[in-house]
Chain A
Amino acid sequence: EDQVTQSPEALRLQEGESSSLNCSYTVSGLRGLFWYRQDPGKGPEFLFTLYSAGEEKEKERLKATLTKKESFLHITAPKPEDSATYLCAVQQNSWGKFQFGAGTQVVVTP
């Protein structure tokens, strides 16, 4: 059965303390792996799409990487405004459903 597992469940960081979130997946025929950010009371907000192993994407303090079995979201020198739940999701074909992981809740303290 297809699975998406995120770790850790929660992460508490000091401002400036870099860290990485993990998303491991087992799915046949991956079309894309997506990272989203979700703030309390809001819907998920798109961050990145990764399509093939070795691909990397960057946006401000965030960098996402992809291997054949997992993806990492690196947060470099985080700020309090980076506090959110980070979700990864996989899609098997260009029109199909997205399967989400449970998310990693990140809290960045000043």
Chain B
Amino acid sequence: EAGVTQFPSHSVIEKGQTVTLRCDPISGHDNLYWYRRVMGKEIKFLLHFVKESKQDESGMPNNRFLAERTGGTYSTLKVQPAELEDSGVYFCASSLLGGKGTGELFFGEGSRLTVL
């Protein structure tokens, strides 16, 4: 069974440019989360989809970040325009809908974003 896949694995852009990160969750996982780790700090929550709906976007830092989940399958996270402080590793994770399984998150390997 394929795990959570993220693309690209590393992106280097200049301040002011746009970057789109993609996440393909495990098939059948209705929960999809975006997290990021900035400068060696703890992994912080960005937002949570249940199927195609945004359940919680309280962690999105500002309106330069836009997340979508088309048809409840893959998700994209767009940063426009990128700022230096957006550099970090963006993780996507998926899980079964509440109460099913042990509830653990399955993580992708992350997309490292470097803004110069």
Contact = CB atoms under 8 A, between A and B. Distances in A.
Interface of A: 4, 31-32, 34, 36, 41-46, 49, 87, 89, 91, 93-103
Prevailing SS type, chain B contact patch: loop
Interface in B38-61: 41-45, 48, 50, 55-56, 58-59
Contacts of B109: 41-43
A98 B42 contact: no
Contacts of B71: none
A12 B103 CA distance: 31
A96 B59 CA distance: 12
A59 to B, nearest CB: 13
Given A42-B110, A43-B91, A95-B97, 17 more contacts: A31-B103, A36-B107, A41-B109, A43-B107, A43-B110, A44-B91, A44-B107, A89-B105, A94-B99, A95-B48, A96-B48, A97-B45, A98-B33, A98-B105, A100-B35, A100-B44, A101-B42
Given A94-B98, A96-B48, A46 B42 contact: no
Given A94-B99, A95-B98, A97-B59, A45 B107 contact: yes
B4 interface: yes
Contacts of B103: 31-32, 34, 49, 91, 94
A100 B93 CA distance: 13
Nearest to B30: A95
Contacts of B44: 100
Nearest to A95: B98
A3 to B, nearest CB: 11
A87 B43 contact: yes
B41 to A, nearest CB: 7
Nearest to B100: A94
Contacts of A49: 102-104
B31 A46 contact: no
Interface in B1-37: 4, 31, 33, 35
Contacts of A43: 4, 91, 93, 107-110
Given A95-B31, A95-B50, A46 B45 contact: no
